[in-house]
Amino acid sequence: MSKIWFITGSSRGLGRSLTTAVLASGDKVAATARDTQQLNDLKETYGDNILPLKLDVTDNQQIHQAVEETLRTFGRIDVLVNNAGFGIIGAAEAFTDEQVQSQLDTNLYAPIEVTRAVLPHMRKQRSGFIMQISSVGGRVGNAGLTMYQAAKFGLGGFSEALAKEVAPLNIKVTCVEPGGFRTDWAGASMTYAPNIEGYEESVGKRVEYIQSGQFIPVGDPDKAAAVMLRLATEPTPPVHLVLGSEAIAILEKANADRDAELQKWKTVSLSTDAEEGGADKFLNTTFGKTYK
């Protein structure tokens, strides 16, 4: 039996590749986008197997309307993919209030609300798969990406906790964490904070690199879509799925650095246990003074 997918951000980038792959496989898609005209060609090719839905994911009312329309049309939702999102670069203090709110609204609050809208139906049918499109930037922080990564770190934590929460209901959750892929994430979709002095060596270099055109991602969105299509059939999918050699290299280095830091400060960490004299003894011998 074919699956019913609900995919946000279906008109561009990875969402477009995934929507096309799902339809080509014979499954059906509720494909959401701000501009559904960008889905006209898929509608012409796949007919009633695609339900284009106009959706601004920051509008909670539209979210629930889109979910209800999907259920009226297809009867169920088997796979939810929270893909809609965009990036922003700048120094943390430089972002406008609107830019901060927009990042959190689109990249964190929206996938949480879409998930919450779909969950009651998956709970009743005692099955479902939720894929959250995060980023390796949801596991590793980098200068210039504070707001984007604040949202993605939050999405990763939400997804990891949710996976444990809904496991008894036969609902699976995977946080998909790509590295750089050949979409318009770093191109037309990228926005920037106002430039301020003092961050030339950290944020400035990243902005310069992105805007120079030298950043050529190694990831292929069509290959990522094929992986996600197969992922939906996995009986025991991973909670975190990293995509791309770049992301693997970044994460392996970050994990090694974190482990080294953990071991270096492990004695300090253990010294905070509620054991009489434990902390005093450590602080006296390490810092040479009495802790009060």
Say how far apart CA 178 and CA 65 lie, in whole Å: 30
Collapsed DSSP state (helix, strand, coil) of residue 53: strand
| Active-site residue identified among 10, 134, 135, 159 | 134
| Active-site residue identified among 46, 109, 148, 199 | 148
| Active-site residue identified among 152, 159, 172, 199 | 152
How many Cα atoms occupy the beta-carbon half-sphere of 57 within 13 Å? 29
Task: Provide the token pair at 17.
Answer: 């590749």
In which element (H, E) is residue 33 found? strand 28-33
Amino acid identity of residue 194, one-letter, is P
Sequence-distant (≥ 6) Cβ neighbours of residue 145 within 8 angstroms: 87, 88, 89, 137, 206
Give the pairing of strands 88-89 and 191-192: parallel
Query: DSSP string covering 80-131, please?
Result: EEE-----EES-TTTS-HHHHHHHHIIIIIHHHHHHHHHHHHHHHHT-EEEE
In which element (H, E) is residue 7 found? strand 4-7
- Single out the residue of 141, 146, 158, 160 nearest to residue 250, CA to CA: 141
Number of neighbours of residue 10 by Cβ within 10 angstroms: 32
- Whether 148 is a known active-site residue: answer yes
Q: Which residue has the tokens 């802790």?
A: 291
Say how far apart CA 86 and CA 64 lie, in whole Å: 22
Collapsed DSSP state (helix, strand, coil) of residue 139: coil
Q: Give the residue numbers annotated as catalytic, written as ranges.
A: 134, 148, 152
